[in-house]
């Protein structure tokens, strides 16, 4: 798959058979649905597109996630949810035999997923666990992190559901599981094996579970959602409703670049034109962009097409060793 933007001849919801949809920053922020998400996903389903929700949040069980989405106006069955807790338990099972003692540091979703794999769950390092698995929970405190540290320093293997440094909520950006894992990593000097995005296994598992032949990953974060899509060789749609901005997309490295960019989930109903190069300008619709004399120039068209053209020009320049002034990058509002 090319490291640049792709195009479609039909709407995304017709070109791909299953959407792998991230939650935080894509379907909702904090307790509230992103306004465009419920009608957009309803329209995508009506067009025949399947939906699988894929989240690096390991604190909740699939049933809880499905119930929350349904309350927000996004009907969802538990079988349509893949959590990092489930992926983490799968990773654990690849390295630790069932029946062993495992110290779980996280929420109910992680406890359930690990128990389902046949492990004896402990909460204290004095019980000599052979492994520690850590996932996000807003209720984690010093004691749990300390128990993890004691166990790992005593020889337990270290696993993490995911390494997101931050999570978006209704108040802004908050520390994510990666930040909490960093506390234990700093205290032990041990880097965990991680299961969630951007590792490709989780997305491949979700695609298989959904029976997808042509999956599309949808996310707001370059370093997890879109990097994971690239790693799994699944086209990724970046929506601008969460953590990363259009400016971030301009500076994305090849392994984190989206294949498509849209304002929000309503873009599933859109045809996405492919950027084309003509007379030194990258064109998307009526917008165009180029890098010249160390500056990125953009004009014409609507905001999204300007973003897409700008990405095409910026990525082409970066890949060919042409530098441009980051401080003068355009703002897209």
CA distance linking residue 272 with residue 285, whole number of Å: 10
Residue linked to tokens 């929350």: 68
325 carries an active-site annotation: no
Give me the catalytic one of 14, 22, 164, 319.
22
Helix (H, G, I), strand (E, B) or coil at 196: coil
* Cβ 230 vs Cβ 253: under 8 Å: no
Q: How far is CA 165 from CA 56, 57, 100, 155, in A?
A: 11, 12, 29, 25
Nearest C-alpha neighbor of 256 from the set 233, 284, 226? 226
Helix (H, G, I), strand (E, B) or coil at 175: strand
Helix (H) / strand (E) containing 183? helix 177-188
Helices (H) and strands (E) in the chain, counts: 11, 19
Helix (H, G, I), strand (E, B) or coil at 36: coil
Helix (H) / strand (E) containing 145? helix 142-153
CA distance linking residue 156 with residue 102, whole number of Å: 9
Structure tokens at 213: 């032949």
> For the chain, how many residues are written?
333
Mode of pairing for the β-strands spanning 236-239 and 215-219:
parallel
17 carries an active-site annotation: no
Give me the catalytic one of 24, 164, 220, 223.
24
* Cβ 45 vs Cβ 172: under 8 Å: no
CA distance linking residue 282 with residue 266, whole number of Å: 25
Catalytic residues: 22, 24
């Amino acid at each position: 798959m090319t490291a640049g933007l792709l195009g479609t001849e039909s709407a995304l919801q017709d070109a791909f058979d299953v959407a792998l949809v991230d939650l935080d920053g894509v379907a909702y922020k904090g307790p509230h649905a992103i306004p465009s998400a419920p009608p957009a996903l309803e329209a995508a389903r009506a067009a025949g597109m399947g939906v699988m929700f894929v989240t690096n949040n390991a604190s909740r069980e699939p049933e809880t996630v499905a119930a929350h989405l349904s309350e927000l106006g996004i009907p969802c069955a538990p079988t349509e949810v893949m959590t990092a807790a489930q992926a983490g338990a799968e990773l654990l099972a690849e390295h630790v035999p069932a029946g062993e003692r495992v110290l779980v540091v996280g929420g109910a979703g992680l406890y359930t997923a690990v128990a389902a794999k046949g492990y004896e769950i402990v909460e204290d390092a004095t019980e000599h666990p052979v492994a520690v698995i850590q996932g996000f929970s807003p209720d984690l405190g010093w004691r749990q992190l300390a128990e993890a540290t004691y166990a790992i320093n005593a020889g337990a293997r270290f696993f993490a559901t995911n390494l997101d440094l931050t999570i978006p909520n209704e108040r802004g950006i908050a520390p994510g599981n990666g930040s909490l894992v960093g506390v234990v990593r700093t205290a032990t000097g041990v880097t965990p094996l991680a299961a969630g995005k951007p590792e490709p296994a989780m997305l491949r598992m979700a695609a298989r579970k959904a029976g997808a032949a042509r999956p599309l990953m949808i996310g707001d974060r370059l370093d997890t959602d879109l990097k994971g899509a690239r790693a799994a060789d699944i086209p990724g749609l970046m929506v601008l409703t969460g953590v990363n901005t259009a400016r971030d997309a301009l500076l994305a490295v090849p392994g984190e670049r989206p294949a498509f960019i849209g304002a929000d989930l309503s873009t599933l109903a859109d045809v996405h034109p492919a950027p084309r190069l003509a007379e030194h300008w990258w064109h998307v619709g009526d917008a165009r962009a180029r890098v010249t004399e160390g500056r990125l120039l953009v004009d014409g068209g609507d905001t999204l097409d300007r973003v897409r053209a700008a990405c095409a020009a910026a990525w082409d320049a970066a890949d060919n060793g042409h530098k441009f002034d980051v401080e003068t990058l355009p703002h897209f509002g």
